[in-house]
Structure 1
Amino acid sequence: MKLVSAAAILLLFVTPLAEAALARSPETPAPPLTCGGDEPYWSLKLGADGKARFSDGDGEATISPFILQQSRNTTLIAGVTFGLKAEIRAVIGHEACSATNGDDDRPMTISVWYKDGLLSGCCQPDS
């Protein structure tokens, strides 16, 4: 009985510590996010439902699951893999980004590797 009580008490103390360790910092890019860029105009939405909605600006669109992976050494960068064969990769960075199609700055940058090319743009959290 004492062993069970000790384990229960330990679990009460360890659980909040584990949750804190897994919690994202405010700088960490996390869904839901809306991203995009100009020339060509392209867009990417990373939904809280685990789906990436990508339009390349040339008429092709993809909806697929995505994997968001936090950088191992900073909370300011995350990588995203998506596409029907997980062939599209992106890096999202937490730094101010000037959108060319508007006056508002966005809080994150994005670079997307797609079909042997590189697209760049800005991201912002969905409200």
Structure 2
Amino acid sequence: MPALFSVAGVAPGDVLNIRAEPDAAAEKIGELAPDAVGVEVTARTAPDGWGRVNTGERAGWVSLGFLAPQDGGALPEVSRLSCFGTEPFWSLDADAGGLSNLSDPEGEALFLTGPVQPGAGRSDVFGVTGGAAGRTLALAIRAAECSDGMSDRLYGLSATVLVGGTMPRTLAGCCSLDTAER
């Protein structure tokens, strides 16, 4: 299950290396600052092994020994999600319990959305619902490896968005835990 972490135990002036494979000898493909926060780990090799993160246009691995979990950094506590897809291109900046912005070929729309709800009897399924001016929005999130199909980035949440109203549609893609203030 994806979660947000902070870099911990890395000396000031040093960096946490991002490796191409979960191996300290693997090619270095990026780095994280010693004070980095909001680092999304999308998969793990083992509880105390390596965590997969995205850097640039690809995915890499960091040692979990240098990451500390952020309070409220996992679903259902995380309230902001960045969801997106291709064919057609769409994005949903979801602020559960606030305003969420959907952008797709039909235009942009704001929805008042409720909190993230865990799936009944499931620890890997979550939902967010909302509405505005005769339209409805339902976001179904599932913990599963997901690719945007345009880069080598790998995400840990798949998404299905159902929009109801005069132009009903279903959109599929990925979500990322979002730490950015809006």
TM over 0.5: yes
Match of 2:136 among 80, 83, 87: 87
Match of 1:117 among 150, 156, 169: 169
Change over 3 Å in CA distance of 1:39–1:27 after alignment to 2:
same
Per the normalisation by structure 1, the TM-score is 0.69
Does 1:73 find its partner at 2:121? Answer: yes
Letter in 1 for 2:90: W
Give the structure with higher Rg (CA): 1
Match of 2:93 among 33, 45, 54: 45
The structure with the greater share of residues assigned to strand is 2
The CA deviation at 1:53 is: 1.0
Per the normalisation by structure 2, the TM-score is 0.50
After superposition, the CA RMSD in angstroms is 2.5
Whole-angstrom CA distance in 1 between matches of 2:86 and 2:175: 13
The structure with the greater share of residues assigned to helix is 1
Letter in 1 for 2:150: N
Whole-angstrom CA distance in 2 between matches of 1:52 and 1:112: 12
Whole-angstrom CA distance in 1 between matches of 2:137 and 2:86: 18
Stretches of structure 1 that go unaligned for 5 or more consecutive residues are: 1-22
Change over 3 Å in CA distance of 1:69–1:116 after alignment to 2:
same
Q: How many residues align?
A: 104
Stretches of structure 2 that go unaligned for 5 or more consecutive residues are: 1-70
